[in-house]
Amino acid sequence: MKDKTNIPLLGLVKVTGYPVYFFYMRAKRYYLNPAKKALPKNCIIMSNHTSLLDFPMYLGLFYFKTVHWLMSEALFKHGKLFSWFLLSLGGIYVDRTQHNFDFVRDALQILDKGGKVGVFPQGRLPVNGRDFPYMPGITVLALQTNAPIIPVYTDGNYGFFKTAHVMVGEEIHIRDLTDQEKPDSFEIKRLTRVLEEKNLALKEELEKRLAKKK
């Protein structure tokens, strides 16, 4: 699928939406390794999912970068105009109901051009405070593209007079985590769990740093 990102529109949304970001979704960024703050030219940003505000928060956090986030088919059921808007902001359509991996092809095209792709591996928001496990799409994408993964954790502390806290981890190269040239389903499941644990480790590190400030 051709990249339908509308850069002028994306820029306009970021500029006009910045006051909302600053006063309601402002985020403070922390780094696991402060010496490695710069994002690779092409990479997969892997984040936990706390609310629908995660996406606009990341628009503000990565203000000067274009990140193409994977978006579920559920978001595209709100009319053609809204679907066009999501694709114009760099969204990549993912149909979870068909269990296909067409999104890998679309993401690969973006990564091959030096772009950045964002993934919420849980695929859905928490229900009654319970987080969903990571889905294997993030692993398949990393294996197919060989792009480095940048794990990110956000505590989702959005609201007026609040500050969200975001912990950015170091690069993960999925091929370094397996000996299999063509990982089978069991290995993909294991790798997915490893990636989930990487993000959970970021959560623990963030909580430690915030606790020291109290």
Question: In this structure, is residue 69 part of a structural domain?
Answer: yes
Question: In this structure, is residue 11 part of a structural domain?
Answer: yes
Neighbours of 26 (CB within 10 A): 19
Question: In this structure, is residue 106 part of a structural domain?
Answer: yes
pLDDT given for residue 11 in this prediction: 92
Angle at alpha carbon of residue 168, lines to 163 and 173, rounded to 5°: 160
Can you tell me the distance from the alpha carbon of 108 to that of 188, in angstroms, rounded to the nearest whole number?
Answer: 19
pLDDT given for residue 55 in this prediction: 92
pLDDT given for residue 102 in this prediction: 80
Buried b (16+ CB within 10 A) or exposed e, 32-64: beeeeeebeebbbbbbbbbeebbbbbbbbbbee
User: Which has the closest alpha carbon to 116: 10, 9, 13?
Assistant: 10
pLDDT given for residue 1 in this prediction: 63
pLDDT given for residue 73 in this prediction: 86
Domains held by the chain: number = 1
Question: In this structure, is residue 54 part of a structural domain?
Answer: yes
Q: In angstroms, how far is the first alpha carbon of the chain from the final one?
A: 49
pLDDT tens over the chain, length 214 residues: 667 888 899 999 999 998 989 899 989 999 999 888 888 889 999 999 999 899 999 999 999 999 999 998 888 888 899 999 999 999 998 887 776 678 888 998 999 889 999 999 998 888 877 888 999 989 999 999 899 999 999 999 999 989 999 999 999 999 999 999 999 999 999 999 999 999 999 999 999 999 987 7
Question: In this structure, is residue 2 part of a structural domain?
Answer: no
pLDDT given for residue 207 in this prediction: 95
pLDDT given for residue 87 in this prediction: 92
Question: In this structure, is residue 1 part of a structural domain?
Answer: no
Can you tell me the distance from the alpha carbon of 169 to that of 174, in angstroms, rounded to the nearest whole number?
Answer: 14
What phi and psi values does residue 45 have, to the nearest 5 degrees?
-90, 120
Residue 72: give the domain boundaries. 7-213
Question: In this structure, is residue 146 part of a structural domain?
Answer: yes
Question: In this structure, is residue 102 part of a structural domain?
Answer: yes
Angle at alpha carbon of residue 65, lines to 59 and 68, rounded to 5°: 65
